[in-house]
Amino acid sequence: MAIEGKVWKFGDNIDTDVIIPAKFLNVSDKKILAASAFADLRPEFSKGVRNGDILVGGNNFGCGSSREHAPLAIKEAGISVIIAKSFARIFYRNSFNIGLPILESKEAVESIEENDEVSADLVTGEIINKTKGKRFQAKPVPDFMRDVIQAGGLVEYIKKQK
Amino acid sequence: MGMTITEKILAAHSGNDHVKPGDLLQADVDMALANDITAPLAIKVFEEIGRDSVFNQDRIALVPDHFVPNKDIPSAHQAKMMRDFANKYAIKNYFEVGQMGVEHVILPEKGLVIPGDLVIGADSHTCTYGALGAFSTGVGSTDLGVIMATGKVWLKVPPTIKVIFEGEFQPWVCGKDLILYLLGVLGVEGANYCALEFTGPAVRKLTMDQRMTMSNMAIECGAKNGIFEADDITLNYVKERSARKPLVVKADPDARYEKEIHIDVSRIQPQVAFPHSPDNVRPVSEGRDVKIDQVFIGSCTNGRLEDLKIAAGLMKGKSVAKGVRVIVLPGSPLIYKEAIREGIIETFIDAGATIGPPSCGPCLGGHLGILAAGERCASTSNRNFIGRMGDPKSEVYLVSPAVAAASAVLGRIGSPDEI
């Protein structure tokens, strides 16, 4: 299953306070959260993001607070996949749990620039930078995580176990 | 091959004799925790799963501490959602305003975590309970919702990094300085997906309050947990609070560690994490030119009685510098009461500080002390990310209670030796 979109590029150590500042956490409505994504760091993000766009980050993406509101806001804003050099542990877990695909590839991130057109295959982990004509292979997803994604998120996975 | 403390607790909770880093396992949860920000999403997940009851109404703790006492109408709605859920499912450990404090201060204080436990919380600072010799880690709301329904959690066994603290403490150096120093050594991603095991003669002397400060900030270098071996100090703390039998877990002599880090405590002076990252750590002597507008003493990192006692001891008979606002939030009602009894609160008020209700307050930019653009705060809390405590153009400097108190009197970042 390949996803194609335009890239929004971010740096290293993007923490969940920056993704969604706590002043917006007094609600849990996904649409309201999405409208506040990156409100302070990149105020143009929530208005400019198009359905299917791809978010690219550096090392330790999603560090800090465990707030699931962060991946929820990114997903609801329309981002189809996050590609980063590495993810913070809780953010990684949360993303799978809510069905937001994420891929790890240092090489791909170093090649990709803002506004590049990129495609990513969530099953094979192949990432293609169409703008630059380069291919990359993401780190494989653990089997258990793939089962969770195939079930449609952790809730569906648990329901099937019942 | 032997196991580390973390590996042993994970094995014992998953029906395994032996586990190794990388193993995926399903573990039984002794205590599950959420707060007024993470619980609403977890409740939605729980309802979606469609169970009639929670896995165990005695083994869930719900603490409204982030935006409570309610700061606005949406927060009031979220707090009510959690309260209604607690009533509906007869959750024993729900702490209403009046009983509530900072979640990671409340749980150990009430004896809800003991050595050997496995605790999962929808809050990243759930790693605090490593101080009690328990495995504890933070997750998101979906995980927590599933745990409330099933009592089980999927975990990958982390490799353990052993950190050995040796040597004598310099004056005014405490647990906060040790963990800040370690963050500087490891970096914010230095222990990602790993367990930290804190050991060595220097930390064996530390009180429970100081150990909790250290375990609390394990997440700031990406660690899954930060654990101490339970000892007499731990057991004395626990026996006054819980009737359950603690399980003291020790690492095997042939346990395998990802790496070992030796830290000579005698070379550490009080530390300051400069903006905007908890690993941007320098000695306090390099902060002398940093003028401050606010001091915050409190949070799950440093809102305990010993923290308040140290800060008040330094501020006794002195005044807060002109132009500085000092906000003190005791971590729990019990701490607040004891601080009144011991004259700590009077000392703070006489010095010119204000006291707020036990809660997270300004730590995460919620309420009770938000910063304006250009303002700087010396804070005993745990994160100084951009905009963490208010305006994205404000700055947070992470310090110990002693440095916070000294800075309050000086009007700039400074050492207790200077006052």
Give the pLDDT confidence score for residue B282 in this predicted structure: 98
Looking at beta carbons, which residues of chain B come within 8 Å of A89?
192-193, 222, 224
**Cα maximum dimension of chain A:** 47
pLDDT at residue B285 is higher than 80: yes
Model pTM score = 0.97
Give the pLDDT confidence score for residue B1 in this predicted structure: 86
pLDDT at residue A162 is higher than 70: no
Say if domain A2-161 classifies as CATH 3.20.19.10: yes
Reference A88, options B224, B364, B155, B225; nearest CA is B224
Closest partner residue to B48 among A18, A90, A155, by Cβ?
A: A155
**Which tens digits make up the pLDDT trace of B185-221?**
999 999 999 999 999 999 999 999 999 999 999 999 9
Helix (H) and strand (E) counts in chain B: 14, 18
pLDDT at residue B259 is higher than 90: yes
**Among all chains, which residue has been given the structure tokens 């409100």?**
A39
Contact B105/B209 with Cβ under 8 angstroms?
A: no
Looking at beta carbons, which residues of chain A come within 8 Å of B66?
22, 25
Closest partner residue to B189 among A59, A93, A158, by Cβ?
A: A59
Rounded CA-CA distance B248/B116 in Å is: 6
With pLDDT > 90 as the criterion, what percentage of chain A qualifies? 80
Q: Which residues contact B201 (CB under 8 A, 6 or more apart)?
A: B165, B166
Rounded CA-CA distance A60/B155 in Å is: 20
Boundaries of CATH 3.30.499.10 in chain B?
A: 5-263, 276-418
Give the pLDDT confidence score for residue A143 in this predicted structure: 78
Closest partner residue to B192 among A18, A86, A153, by Cβ?
A: A86
Give start and end residues of each alpha helix (H) in B259-389.
Answer: 299-302, 305-315, 333-341, 344-351
Q: Minimal Cα distance from A95: which residue of B?
A: B140
Contact check, Cβ <8 Å, B387/A21: yes
Q: What is the DSSP letter of B220?
A: G
Give the pLDDT confidence score for residue A149 in this predicted structure: 74
**Among all chains, which residue has been given the structure tokens 């050099």?**
A85
Predicted ipTM of the assembly: 0.95
Rounded CA-CA distance B86/B97 in Å is: 14
Distances (CA, A) of B24 to A28, A144, B11, B20: 31, 8, 11, 9
Give the pLDDT confidence score for residue A1 in this predicted structure: 67
**Which tens digits make up the pLDDT trace of B3-54?**
999 999 999 999 999 999 999 999 999 999 999 999 999 999 999 999 999 9
Give start and end residues of each alpha helix (H) in B112-220.
Answer: 141-150, 175-186, 201-204, 208-216
Amino acid (1-letter code) at residue A50? R
For all residues of chain B together, what is the average pLDDT? 98
Contact A114/A8 with Cβ under 8 angstroms?
A: yes
pLDDT at residue A161 is higher than 80: no
Contact B44/A68 with Cβ under 8 angstroms?
A: no
Which CATH number does B276-418 carry? 3.30.499.10
Contact check, Cβ <8 Å, A90/B366: no
Say if domain B5-263 classifies as CATH 3.30.499.10: yes
Banded model confidence at residue A142, pLDDT cuts 50, 70, 90: confident
Q: Count other Cβ atoms within 10 Å, centred on residue A35.
A: 15
Contact B130/B225 with Cβ under 8 angstroms?
A: yes
**Which tens digits make up the pLDDT trace of B321-370?**
999 999 999 999 999 999 999 999 999 999 999 999 999 999 999 999 99
Give the pLDDT confidence score for residue B280 in this predicted structure: 98
Before B69, cis peptide (omega within 30)?
Answer: yes
Banded model confidence at residue B413, pLDDT cuts 50, 70, 90: very high
